Structure 1
Amino acid sequence: MTSPDSVGPRWFSIPQPTSVALTGGDWRQASVHVIAEASEFEGEARRLERELAELGIEHGGRSAIRLRAGGWSGESFSVVVADDVEVNAGTPAGVFRATRQLLQNLRAHGVIPRGRVESAPAVVERGFHLDAARKYFSSEWMITLLHELADVGINTFQWHFSENEGFRLASERFPEIVSAEHVTRDEAARVLDAAADLHIDVIPSLDMPGHLRHALAQHPSLRLPSAGALETDHALDVTRADAVRFAENLIDDVAPVFARSTRWNLGGDEFVDFARIDEYPVLAEAAHERFGPEATGFDLLTGFVNGIGAHLRERGFAARAWNDGMLRSSAVTLDQEIALTWWTNWHAQMRPVADAVGAGHALVNFNDALFYYVLGEQAGYSYPTSERIWAADWHPGLFSALPGGRVQEIAAPYPDALLGVAFSVWSDDPAAQSPQEVADGIRGPLRAMAERAWNGGSALTHEEFLAVAGRLN
């Protein structure tokens, strides 16, 4: 690799600040006072003291790092490095993002370059999704991961704990569905506490009405009835009120774990073979009976998603759903308040991003072509790399392409409806990698997404990115 001191900026951080104006010289002290000039920053001041001590910079001396309020909102900040260091931010989260920049420079080359940096994120969400249902990840591993995510500006963690192959979060109401290896309620509380301390919002992901094979194995009467050679053992029978109540009860059982969360991904994807949805007799008959002769199973699916969204809203959660089965109904309109987590357009019948924008839905860009880390490289996926991310010149508004390679793009400045982006680990082949191998494998491409998500692209070349990111290990 090219020497990190001979390429790229001297400000070593991921993500890079929005603007950097260096004045020459470096800051490094043997000891320093960290002063919170606003009471709400006291916690961040004490955290920074501990972190500096770990790097050999003790509390005391004549130099100061001052945490000041004013001039910024959200996660935005400025940092001025002279004889003292001045951090300006409007929130504790903004102070936290700024102090990560200081620490990354100190870890990378032992000093902080003097000058002024300012930074504001291009999108409000930079997320990470973990499939901890097919594969068991310990609470300790997840907490370590959260620290690594927070270090590079990731601020949402979507915890996917239920899948066809497992249910890995303790259940009080349905203990029979819980996998032998799972996260207990006490362990979950520690994960949630760590996330809150790191300014990361946790988004529960409980996929329904599909992806429920493991749970339905203990409640087979609630499965969608047989449809010949088409699989139904993973699908809830959305035509039945008792099955819908079961779905709601699953949510109600684990909702207290996520009392601090405000968003919830209910799934809605891969419920049945969408290209053959008319071949499921129960769905076709119920759709015609409820909505008329032109209705399809998509109307039933949309009605179910709307109902679960309303159920979540009553409990304080804003609902989200995957995009592939949405916006395809004719008689039932998807609730505009449901945000769409847009992962793919692999099939020609899936609706394009433009339809979601036109219908007024908020979007999170999951771009499976670049940011799906699928264990075992199943389903035709290959592990993401920073090289591919740079080659695509990816930015938060660049979604997975339509069939034939047609580009789907929302240009900057991004509308409020583009909430953000996310990187995903999917555990399709759980034995393919150990948890440590997953952590090592995602580090480079995750940092690439973090850099380009915060900045709406990047001023760095790929070589410069590697030089900076390589010094942060």
Structure 2
Amino acid sequence: MKLDAHIDGPDIAVTLTADRPLSAPVLCFSLMAPAEVVTGGTLAHACAGYCEVALPDLAPGMPHALRLRHVAGFQPANRAWLPLGAHLRAGGETIPLPALPSGRRPAPLMDGPAAELRIVPPVAGFAPTGETAVATAFHADPKAFAPVEALARRTGLGPFLDPAGLPLRVAVDGQVGPEAYLLDIAPDGVVLTASSRTGRFYGAVTLLTLRHTHAGRLPCGRIEDAPRFAWRGQHLDCARHFFEPDTIARLMDLMALLKLNRFHWHFADDEAFRLEIESLPELWQRTAFRGAGELVPGVFGGGIRAGGSYSLDDARTLIAHGEALEIGILPEIEAPAHAFTLAKVFPETRDPGDKGTEASVQGYPENVLNPAMPETWRVLEAMAQEVAQLFPLGLLHLGCDELPEGAWEGSPAADALKARENLVTRDDLQGWTMHRLAGAIAPVRPAAWEEAARGRNGGIGHDALLFSWSGQGPGIEAARAGYDVVMCPAQHVYLDMAHSADPDDWGASWAAVLPLEETLTWSPVPADAPDIAPRVVGVEGTFWSEFTTRDKEMEAMVAPRILGVATKAWDRTDRLTGPELHALARAYLPILDAMGWESGYR
């Protein structure tokens, strides 16, 4: 069997060649968005971007041409928009087809000026002496640096400690901030001053990094360093693609090397709920896998069957892994939208009298829970309370993005609820819903996407932490309304966006084309909104997995652009330029190679 595909104007041209006669075959595949068949077949079934196309009988060796087109204004941008997870059904047989070439391809880095200290994020201050210190490892208290030694060995960057190494002494100074550190580097040894375990860890990470980026010869002098923001995050979508726990742990290792301290774990969405909670076992048991015979077909490259779930022990292992790296985990559930599978498992979360026709931007019909239904609250409260209690960070992200147009407009039960609560619009009802759900997890602090600030009663409330994703405008509004905000504008830190406009590239494009240098061309506190500075508490990069079919495909999308995210989260000055970031990325390539991380750059 042979499958070829390419972008041809607004269409996707597909050629299928069978190696044997096939009677009434059906071609199954997934695209980034809902699609229609232009020529060559008949669309027999669709769910979001998943399509089943009935074809005429195929003769061996005779190519059959098929033309597809995304609907609702979506335009294919690159290879990620071609058919994913393609297979045939014919004569009671399911026949896998060869996968199209996937993932980002290598691209050159620009030349840029070498930094005085080749480290990301840049340190707050450095006073050099002009000398260097030879350091292949450090001689220090093993107990004080056990987490860094373990990190170094896991990532191929070790050893960090060696009795024959450069002496490293620890000093304690209560005047140094909780995440800050000082390094006094001299030819005969290093003094690391901090007031906390976290500061000591970050100081040691700086030494580990400089040892590699400066070929074992540390620039001598005094480093003074401290972060700008308390929240320095990276998000990973494990709902659209199941990432193995080991992959998540490797991502956290990379985060630690860049002093990122919050992992946003997105394990629930329309497609799946992947955490094996005890209160609602049917939820993850019925949604962990998608494909043939499953609740959800092979959307987003799921193919014949794909998926998995995370045991509670997996979660506890990752929590412990993060704690050793000074990383807290923010879990995310989804309410009230992005709940397609949840509503399928628990149909009484929908109003049976609802005559509405809402569909999500991804093409899912009826993916919104109805807050007027008692079952909605039984499910949501059980889910939220168990997940909140499992994770020690003391925060639970409740979702609240992309409520479809027309949500609840056909529901008599929702109309009655709005009348009782003096609510008018869908945003009013969503805000009421989020406020109630946030109250159900107290004293755990709620978090949510930017839309949770909407509604006539002020939205979610409860001192919620909001994430501004569609741009910085909603974050500015939320901050002025009294919310703490994490800035994660898609135009600069959505690492699933394509690096370039080349159709041979890979990634999404709805928000931006995002080359490495564009991760820097913004300020977390915009110049025209200085008043919000006290409310902007952090920066977060995100990675959505709609087009990811293998764990490794994530790596070249995330790194080295995560260097820009880390810079914006730590550095107070916005001083780093695009060419300088390219030069630093080049310095980090040996580190990524040592980790076995596919950077996509050489």
TM-score by length of 2: 0.68
CA distance in 1, matches of 2:133, 2:476: 49
Q: Does 1:46 align with 2:146?
A: yes
Question: How many angstroms apart in 2 are the aligned matches of 1:336 and 1:127?
Answer: 22
Match of 1:396 among 513, 518, 524: 524
Conserved 8 A contact 1:79-1:86: yes
Task: Provide the residue aligned with 2:464 in structure 1.
Answer: 338
Are 1:34 and 1:48, in contact at CA under 8 Å, matched by a contact in 2? no
TM-aligned CA deviation for residue 242 of structure 1: 2.8
Is the 8 Å Cα contact of residues 287 and 295 (structure 1) preserved in structure 2? no
For residues 437-465 of structure 1, give each alpha carbon's deviation from its aligned partner in whole angstroms, at most 9, with x where no partner exists: 21122112111111122113543332222
- Asked if the contact 1:338–1:362 (Cα under 8 Å) also holds between the matched residues in 2, the reply is yes
DSSP 3-state at the match of 1:207: strand
Q: Does 1:106 align with 2:211?
A: yes
- Residues 262-287 of structure 1: CA distance to partner in whole angstroms, max 9, x if unpaired? 111101222332xx458344376235
Aligned pair in 2 of structure 1 residues 98, 415: CA closer, same or farther (>3 Å)?
same
Task: Give the fraction of aligned pairs with identical amino acids, expressed as a percent.
Answer: 23
Paired position in structure 2 for 1:405: none
Superposed displacement of residue 57, structure 1:
6.5
**1:186 matched to which residue of 2?**
313
Looking at structure 2, the residues matched to 357 and 50 of structure 1 have their Cα atoms a distance apart, in angstroms, of 39
**Alignment root-mean-square deviation, CA:** 2.8
Q: Structure 1's 384 and 191: CA in aligned 2 closer, same or farther, altered over 3 A? A: farther
Q: Answer yes or no: is the 8 Å Cα contact 1:166–1:214 preserved in 2.
A: yes
Change (3 A) 1:297 1:286: farther
Secondary structure in structure 2 of the residue aligned to 1:24 = strand
Q: 1:278 to 1:220 in 2, by over 3 A?
A: closer
Does the 8 Å CA contact 2:140/2:161 hold for their aligned counterparts? Answer: no
Instruction: Using the TM superposition, give the Cα deviation of residue 113 of structure 1 relative to its aligned residue in structure 2, in angstroms.
Output: 0.6
Structure 1 CA distance, aligned partners of 2:416 and 2:578? 54
Which residue is equivalent to 2:583? 467
SS across alignment from 2:118? coil
Deviation at 1:51, TM superposition (A): 6.4
State which drifts further: 136-145 or 26-35: 26-35
Counterpart of 1:78 (choices 175, 179, 182) is 182
For 2:313, give the aligned amino acid.
D
Find the counterpart in structure 2 of residue 401 from structure 1.
Answer: none
Q: How far apart are 1:200 and its partner, in Å?
A: 0.4
Unaligned runs of 5+ in 1: 36-41, 399-407
Which residue number in structure 1 is paired with residue 546 of structure 2? Answer: 428
Distance 1:224 1:92, change over 3 A: farther
Within 2, Cα distance between the matches of 1:192 and 1:235? 30
Higher helix proportion: 1
Letter of the 2:441 partner, please give it: L
> 1:102, CA displacement in angstroms?
0.8
State the Cα distance separating 1:67 from its structure 2 match: 1.7
- Amino acid of the residue matched to residue 103 of structure 1? L
Gaps (5+ residues) in structure 2? 1-107, 290-307, 360-364, 498-505, 590-602
Q: 1:52 to 1:154 in 2, by over 3 A?
A: closer
Aligned with 1:229: secondary structure?
coil
Query: Equivalences for 1:303-314 in 2 at 5 Å?
Result: 303-314=432-443
Residue aligning to 1:361: 483
Of 244, 264, 280, 1:174 maps to 280
User: Which residue matches 1:125?
Assistant: 231
Q: What does residue 12 of structure 1 align with?
A: 118
Q: What are the residue-to-residue correspondences of 1:367-406 with 2, within 5 Å?
A: 367-374=489-496, 377-378=507-508, 380-382=510-512, 384-390=514-520, 392=521, 394-398=522-526
Other-structure match for 1:219? 346
Is the aligned partner of 1:301 residue 2:430?
yes
Whole-Å Cα distance in 1 between the matches of residues 547 and 159 of structure 2?
A: 42
Cα–Cα, structure 1 residues 172 and 448, in superposed 2: closer, same or farther, change >3 Å? same
Q: 1:283 to 1:128 in 2, by over 3 A?
A: farther
Alignment of 1:263 with 2:363, yes or no, is no
Task: Determine which of 530, 537, 544 is the counterpart of 1:411.
Answer: 530
Question: Which range is displaced more, 16-25 or 170-179?
Answer: 170-179
1:44–1:467 distance in 2 versus 1, CA, 3 Å: farther
Question: What letter matches 1:437 in structure 2?
Answer: E
CA shift, 1:254, in A, is 3.1
Q: Which amino acid aligns with 1:18?
A: A
Name the CA shift for 1:163/1:468 in 2 (closer, same or farther; >3 Å). same
Mapped contact 2:267–2:274 kept (Cα < 8 A): yes
- Hey, what does 1:443 align to over in structure 2? 559
Contact 2:229 2:570 in 1 (8 A): yes
Q: Does residue 328 of the first structure (1) align with residue 432 of the second (2)?
A: no
* Letter of the structure 1 residue corresponding to residue 246 of structure 2: E
> CA separation in 2, counterparts of 1:453 and 1:309?
27
Shift of 1:371: 1.4
Q: For 1:247, give the aligned amino acid.
A: L
Q: Is the Cα–Cα contact under 8 Å of residues 397 and 411 in structure 1 kept in the other structure?
A: yes
Q: Secondary structure, in 3 states, of the residue corresponding to 1:471?
A: helix
CA 240–445 in structure 1, closer or farther in 2 if over 3 Å, else same: same
Partner of 1:403: none
1:57 and 1:336 map into 2 onto residues whose CA distance is 44
Are 2:495 and 2:561, in contact at CA under 8 Å, matched by a contact in 1? no
- Code of the residue aligned with 2:369 in structure 1: it is L
The residue number in structure 1 matching 2:198 is 93
Distance 1:457 1:220, change over 3 A: farther
Q: Distance in 2 between matches of 1:359 and 1:2?
A: 42
Once the two structures are superposed, residues 173-206 of structure 1 have per-residue CA deviations (whole angstroms, 9 ceiling, x without a partner) of: 3222211311222222211111111000100110
> Comparing 115-124 with 60-69, which one deviates more in the overlay?
60-69
2:146 alignment partner AA: R
CA distance, structure 1, for counterparts of residue 274 and residue 492 of structure 2: 27
Larger radius of gyration: 2
* Contact 1:65–1:86 (CA under 8 A) maintained in structure 2: yes
1:3 to 1:219, Cα distance in 2 relative to 1, 3 A:
closer
